[in-house]
Chain A
Amino acid sequence: MAIHPPVTRIWWREPVAKMEIFWIAIAFAWGLVMFSTMVAWHIWGEQNLANEAYRVNPEAYVARVEAMADKYKVREEGDSGVPVVHPPPGSDVYLLARLWQWWPVLELEKGKSYRLHLSSADWQHGFSLVPTNINIQVHPGYEMVVTMRPSESGTFGIICNEFCGIGHHTMAGKIHVVDR
């Protein structure tokens, strides 16, 4: 039994039954399939995260976000007057995570690609685009660049899904995707 020393002293010479070998072979092959699926998706799939990222000083990043917001602001939204920014398609778009908001609100065009930059001014945050389900971790001091192409129009929420203190559950932002 499993709670006793093996009855056959030289247990590594015991024959292994066909059924066990069969299952091990299937399980191993399935592992290879799953491994290859990840590799294949990098070649043929359309949803892969870029490896592009930079170290960045949080203050410098905040300045860049503000510069972009000033340049492309089209209106304000909500009681607190968060700017809505409509950057040209194909451009670099900066989104700032900070306690406790996603800033600014972005207005993007459907079917156009944008280089979305993500970084935090303070703690870690979780970029979670809903209901699309794109989730990316946001670190202070690191700037990640993801090329994103909105494929449906409408208003999408950005919520924070990395715990960031007592106001975590109030941290929300928006992306409007418009037809053009």
Chain B
Amino acid sequence: MEAIAQSPARAVKAPVFRICSITGLRVEANAEMLIRANAVVAVIFLAIGGLFGLSVALTRWPAVHLLPAEWFYIALTAHGADVLLFWILFFEVAVLYFASSTLLNSRLAAPRIAWVGFALMVVGALMANVAVLQGESTVMFTSYPPMQAKPHFYLGLVLFAVGALIACMIFFATLVIAKEEKTYEGSIPLVTFGALTAAIIAVFTIASGAIILIPTFLWSVGLISTIDPLTYKLVWWAMGHSSQQINVSVHVAVWYAIVAMVLGAKPLSEKVSRMAFLMYILFLQLASAHHMLVEPGISSEWKIFNTSYALYLAVLGSLIHGMTVPGAIEAAQRKKGFSRGIFEWLRKAPWGNPAFAGMFLSLVMFGFIGGISGVVLGTEQLNILMHNTIYVPGHFHGTVVAGTTLAFMAVTYLLVPLYFKREIILPGLARWQPYLFGFGVAGISLFMMGAGTLGVPRRHWDITFSDAQMVYSFSPAAFLMMTLNGIAAVIASLGGIAYVVIVVGSILFGKRIPDGKERAPFEAPPVGNAVGQYGNAGTFHLPGTLVLVGVFFLSFVLYYYVNWKYLAQVWPLK
């Protein structure tokens, strides 16, 4: 390892850096260890939570019906906490440290405190898992009162949140240090800006979580007599939904990072992309309303304003990224000479590179599946059609799994060589992994959405009502959808297992990458040689991107109004 000592004026101990031979990025030792630890724990929780998810899907596959009822609800609670919260947040902490320390060429602030934050997150996550598996905290991820879990369930979540908050503070402090010590010139990179967006939203989110989970914890130990269920929902979702906006901000930043590292693509316009991130900060907190659209005692004015993020301004942010990211790819590819016709740039993209393939699938699926369904679901009156049906998990598997998780898997193929100095093993399997996982998840999302439009409820052990007093018979189409969902879940799980095997195998057995020479099996050009001006300079003719966003826009409009047509057939309500 090549250790280069820097001499910042104020640091007591000089930070230790090494240079990554593949990317040319300078990696600081403390940041490296913390990123490794967070990423490894993230993957462990993905593996555990993923298996719980598979068991849930196999139980809801009518012909398999794997778990007994009690275990089904336990597995579903654990699945939500482990993948939606623990996998994603541990990975996001790693991305925050990457975007601050590594991209800004800076030492990481207060590494000891960062380790304390990490320890709190681990302890909290384990505590919540123990509580759930003990069987007396089967309250689902959302834990709506008056249903009550054991105190250590809430305490685990609170500890985890405090740890995550510390990680955000370390990130902010690193930005300050980097600025102070002038480790970079000008403004922070776009990817860091996206991470900053995420960290700012995270502070709001974690504060909301504390405001509701601390009283709920006190209620569970008997110090508070009641928790109002409506208030709980409002504040809990200020954490629960806003934290999905952290995920969006981070995975969009990851998209930009991947297209930069793999293709050398530049943002079309720094101004536009940054404005789009800014819109997330300004408007995403309103998303709690998405969960309040069919609740008693809330005015329609409040619902309409908040559910639309104030005139859809946060959606506008995502729509902008939805054009600027493929636009950046097209511009970069055309500069390389893939400029014949409308789509040569896309056909000749590096589809065999799992970092790129995963990123592009994530982009397309997040937009077409997760994004469109999310807007439809979040429309005040349309929500009556789908609230709490399995359409809802269909939607958020499109955003959080096909979008966020797939993007994180994709960037792992770049982070393992960068931080573990190992080559990716099984490159043949790695090539296929994003497709296996991506198409599996697309199936999960679409089939759950299909079942949801037929009224199939979420979080439900038995839609045949075999031991119920009254029976409702779902149509055969609903059972078919749940079967297809099970099959898709198996495919996605194979993709997930492949990912875990490749990552763990690479970290343990991958060929060591000596500093300075070898390259990973993917063509990641050295990043030290950024040239030119802003990304659109000279090549701003992007017909392919225009066609792509046109197709997207048409699908969006059509699907949106098809759902209004369905609504018009429902019994009149007022």
Contact = CB atoms under 8 A, between A and B. Distances in A.
Interface of A: 1-9, 11-12, 14, 16-17, 19-20, 23-24, 26-28, 30-32, 34-35, 37-39, 41-42, 45-51, 53-54, 78-80, 82, 101, 105, 118, 122-124, 126, 128-144, 146-152, 157, 159-166, 168-174
B470 A16 contact: no
Contacts of A152: 571
B266 A49 contact: no
Contacts of A124: 144, 146-147, 229
B113 interface: no
A48 B300 contact: yes
Contact of B304 (A35, A118, A132, A139): A35
B530 A4 contact: yes
A164 B469 contact: no
B297 interface: yes
Interface in B259-306: 259-261, 264-274, 294-300, 304
A78 B298 contact: no
B368 interface: no
Interface of B: 69-70, 73, 103, 138, 140, 144, 146-147, 184-191, 228-230, 256-257, 259-261, 264-274, 294-300, 304, 308, 311-313, 315-316, 319-320, 323-324, 327-328, 375, 379-381, 383-389, 453-455, 457-463, 465, 467-472, 474-475, 527, 530, 532-534, 536, 540, 542, 545-546, 549, 553, 556-557, 560, 564, 566-568, 570-574
A162 B144 contact: yes
Contacts, number: 317
A7 B297 contact: no
Contacts of A24: 272, 316, 320
Contacts of A131: 454-455, 475
26 contacts: A1-B189, A1-B264, A2-B190, A2-B191, A4-B527, A8-B533, A8-B534, A11-B187, A20-B269, A23-B320, A28-B316, A31-B311, A34-B379, A34-B560, A35-B312, A46-B574, A51-B297, A126-B388, A133-B384, A133-B566, A134-B384, A137-B388, A142-B229, A146-B573, A146-B574, A169-B463
A51 B299 CA distance: 5
Given A37-B379, A169-B461, 9 more contacts: A2-B260, A11-B274, A17-B268, A31-B315, A38-B308, A124-B229, A128-B388, A150-B571, A168-B73
A2 B189 contact: yes
A19 B546 contact: yes
B300 A140 contact: no
Closest 6 CB pairs of A and B: A157-B472, A31-B312, A161-B457, A144-B296, A53-B297, A2-B256
